[in-house]
Amino acid sequence: MSAGEAATEAETEAAFDAAMARAGVTVPEQWRSGTLASFRELRALADLVHDASRPVAHEPSGAYRMRAARHG
Amino acid sequence: MAEPTELHELSVAEAGRLLRQGSITSIELTRHALYRIHAAQPALHAFVTVTDERALADASRADLEFARGVDHGPMQGIPYALKDIFHTAGIRTTSHSRLMADHVPAEDAAVETALRAGGGVLVGKLATHEFALGGPSWELPFPPAHNPWNPEHFTGASSTGAGAAVAAGLVRVAIGSDTSGSVRGPACLCGTVGLKPTYGLVSRRGAFPLSYALDHIGPLGWTVEDVALATQVIAGHDPHDPSSVARPVPDLVRGLNDGVRGLRIAYVPGWFRDDPALDPQVPAAIERVLAGLRERGATVGEVTLPPYRLFNACGRVIMAAEAFAVHEADLRARPGEYGRFTFQRIAAAAGLSAVDLVQAYRLRQELADAVDAAVFAAHDGHDGHDGHDGHAAHDAYDVLVAGTGLVPAPRLDAFGADWPPPRALSAMQTIPFNVTGHPALAVPTGLSAEGLPLGLQLVGRAFDEAAVLRAGAVVEEITGHPLVRPPL
């Protein structure tokens, strides 16, 4: 699947199982449905933070600062 | 002397005045608070632990010091409570979780140290969503807090007991934490005031972390003045908290009665105008408040900010990734000991990548700069101001008005078995200012037709809590909300 394509349910479940296995987390079976729903929701949010229009060298970087702290 | 039945209606300042006059004692105030806490507990479940003995000892000490002329400031002799994520030496601190049900810390959190040094009286530890995340759950060692305006309804976000305790008049002030809105959400849905201070103003040391980048500590109080006085006591540099900022804390109370004449207020209705979850009573109440602010001499202008969904995505990616980092070992070793909602919310972050988090951190700075550029910087109408084009000419605004909860408190039984709940149950627009770090004050705007609180938030420049508190005091004057208590 390439970026921007919607994942099928089977692909999402496969990605979920792979992520949990990699993290070493065993999901209790009765909690699987909600954990998978949260995973799906979080992946959609993560897609939003990837802004292809942002140049790779563009600051700000991860060095967070409070610009407005200079006021007052 | 004040009638005992009215003691809980004394503001922090009023009680302080009477304590210093000798008209009341801290023991009287504290016994009254403890009586009300125990009486309300079966209906509200606001407290995880009530610290009766400690409270009476604190109160005796405060009275003794008043008698000796020793004055530690505005919280001396005043009962308060802490969300149960704040470490309290020798007192159980559970984070409302089975995993920490017997945890007794050896040291106090920084806010508790400040309040103790200020002569405050700790009456107990308050209910929270598990680890300040989770949701309203009945499977945990302690029941969820219930909303005093209608106990069948939700209290809103994780400082649940704090919202319930302040609204019910059990304490005037409670300390909560706010990572995506957990001070302002309960303040909004329970009809109290709540301040998320600027990132770095209040030390987080000794508060169980949820998200290192987004956690803020702040007070809920019945009035803006109560919140200002509590903030004055807990704010200040802590060299043991790397996020703490070394700068003097201004007087947060002196300007409370200065009014809003000449204040420039921005309004951002675009964040919720088209949200299908929006209850029209919410913007109607905000518009009434804005009209009142205009009548009192403020100018109000609409601003456009980056889309709310970007702030939400940025904040929730950071919060989830960092929460996973906090809980990684226990998620592996003891998954079944978490509550269902907590596990489902945190474990899902296993699907985030390092790249997701880096991009979210980058977006965070862009969004913080965008708020400063659109609201708190002046524009001459030409292009290129601070790298952002398209702003109409205007002077810098002093305060931004935004929505808090887009719906009144939903019913507790509307939450399903699994996370996530229906969208309308979590329709809060608080996370943008955890992302940016600006101070944000939740203030009630009145009651819905069903008798449930509505609210707004006032946002200021970094470290300009004084401006939002000053505006908040006028909002209180417009709504008259502090005069209305829930029908307990």
* Neighbour-count burial of B380, counting CB atoms closer than 10 A to its CB (0-12 exposed, 13-18 middle, 19+ buried): exposed
Chain B environment of A37 (Cβ under 8 Å): 344, 418-420
User: Is B415:B409 a contact under the CB 8 Å cutoff?
Assistant: no
Mean pLDDT value across residues B290-301: 98
Axis-axis angle for helices A32-49, A9-23 (nearest 10)? 100
- Interstrand relation of B264-267 and B453-460 (parallel, antiparallel or unpaired): unpaired
What is the separation, in whole angstroms, between the first and last Cα of chain B? 25
Chain B interface mutation, best of A13, A20, A25, A41, highest count of B Cβ atoms under 10 Å: A25
Q: Say how far apart CA B330 and CA B342 lie, in whole Å.
A: 12
* Residue A3 in this model has a pLDDT that exceeds 70: no
Residue B56: which H helix or E strand, with range? helix B52-68
Which of B15, B214, B299 is closest to B6 using CA atoms?
B15
The alpha-carbon gap from A44 to the nearest alpha carbon of chain B, in Å, equals 8
Q: Residue B248 is which amino acid?
A: P
ipTM: 0.91
Contact A37 B314 (CB under 8 A): no
Residue B223 has pLDDT above 50, yes or no: yes
A66 and B462: CB-CB below 8 Å? yes
- Region B202-215 average pLDDT: 97
For chain B, what percentages of helix, strand and coil (3-state, to nearest 5) are there? 40, 15, 45
- Whether B231 and B178 have beta carbons less than 8 Å apart is answered as no
pLDDT exceeds 60 at position A67: no
Exposed / middle / buried, residue B353 (Cβ in 10 Å: 0-12, 13-18, 19+): exposed
Whether chain A has a CB inside 8 Å of the CB on B347: the answer is yes
Q: How far is B145 from chain A (nearest CA, A)?
A: 23
Token output for B222: 């019945």
Q: Which 3 state secondary structure label does DSSP give A54?
A: coil
Q: Mean pLDDT throughout B316-342?
A: 97
Decide if pLDDT at A60 tops 90. Answer: no
Helix (H) or strand (E) segment spanning residue B194: strand B193-196
- CB contacts under 8 A, B 245-284 vs A, are 245, 247
- Can you give the pTM of this predicted structure? 0.94
Distance from CA of A71 to the nearest CA of B (A): 8
Residue B125 is among the residues annotated as catalytic for this protein: no
Q: What is the pLDDT of residue B417?
A: 86
The pLDDT value given to residue B426 = 75
- As a whole number, mean pLDDT of residues A36-50 equals 95
Element housing B455 (H / E) = strand B453-460
Angle value at C-alpha B269, between B263 and B271, nearest 5 degrees: 125
Tokens of residue B86, six digits: 């704040």
Phi, psi of B405 (to 5 degrees): -85, 135
* Subunit contact B348:A66, Cβ cutoff 8 A: no
Q: What is the pLDDT of residue B147?
A: 98
B182 among known catalytic residues: yes
- Whether B231 and B252 have beta carbons less than 8 Å apart is answered as yes
- Cα Rg, chain B, nearest whole Å: 21
Rg of chain A over Cα atoms, rounded to whole angstroms, equals: 18
Pairwise CA distance, residues B458 & B404, whole Å: 9
Write b or e for each residue in B206-236: b if 16 or more Cβ atoms lie within 10 A of its Cβ, otherwise e: bbbbbbbbbbbbbbbbbbbbbbbbbbbbbbb
Q: By mean pLDDT, which of A59-63, B182-186, B265-269, B375-379 is the weakest? A: A59-63
* Residue linked to tokens 């964040």: B271
Enumerate the H helices of B88-183 as residue ranges: 110-117, 160-167
Q: What is the per-residue pLDDT across B367-389, written as a single tens digit (0 to 9) for each?
A: 999 999 999 998 766 544 444 44
pLDDT at B172 over 80: yes
Look at residue B253 in the predicted model and tell me its pLDDT: 97
Taking the C-alpha atoms of residue B51 and residue B59, their distance in angstroms, rounded to an integer, is: 12
Return the half-sphere exposure (C-beta side, CA atoms, 13 A cut-off) of residue B388: 21
Edge to edge, the sheet with strand B216-221 lists: B47-50, B121-126, B79-83, B173-178, B216-221, B193-196, B440-447, B453-460, B399-403, B264-267, B299-302
Give residue-wise pLDDT tens across range B246-263. 999 999 999 999 999 999
Sign of CA dihedral A71, B310, B352, B430: positive
**Among the partner residues A48, A69, A71, nearest to B309 by beta-carbon distance:** A48
Query: What are the phi and psi torsion angles at A39 (to 5°)?
Result: -60, -45
Q: How confident is the model at residue A52 (pLDDT cuts 50, 70, 90)?
A: low
